[in-house]
Amino acid sequence: MCNIINFVSLTLNLSAMYYTYIYPSFIGDICIVADGSVLLSVSFCDDIVVEDYETLPDSAVVVSAVAQLNGYFAGRLKTFDLPLADVCHGFVRDVWGQLVKIPYGTMTTYGIIAERLGRKGAARAVGSACRKNPFAIIVPCHRVGSVSKGAMSGYAGGLDRKLMLLEFEKMNSGS
């Protein structure tokens, strides 16, 4: 099980070539963006005009991301091992480090993660850090949320997707 986020330091070069790939899934299209060596973003394509991007899936990191997403959506892959751009620091990085430790098919709360980080009462800050996550599914923020008045809440990709992902993982976890 990979419990470490593999961040790679990155300086964006606006004239550099970026590779994009639109990955179709049962929860909607997922846009994968990478440079030649790291993933820059794995996000839902809802607010992205796909025609604005040239699809160049020939980057090794994109090919690896597609292969690992195929394994995930086939129910075989439980954790990811991909190089991610270093886009966070401090508390946000600490939160994301906790997210990858949440077991496949389970869920925890923002408050529990805050407590694990020694920041009891910082549940909202954890939620804010989760909303900054550009690596949907890869850094599994869908496995954390708040439960208020018996209703689940919290997921930048939408509550319907969160529930579908959690049910999918539960169904494939053997529990």
- Which residues participate in catalysis according to the annotation? 141
Three-state secondary structure call for residue 45 = helix
The secondary element (H helix, E strand) that includes residue 7 is strand 7-8
Query: Strand locations in 12-170, DSSP E?
Result: 19-23, 30-34, 39-44, 84-85, 108-109, 144-148, 151-153
Decide the pairing of beta strands 144-148 and 151-153.
antiparallel
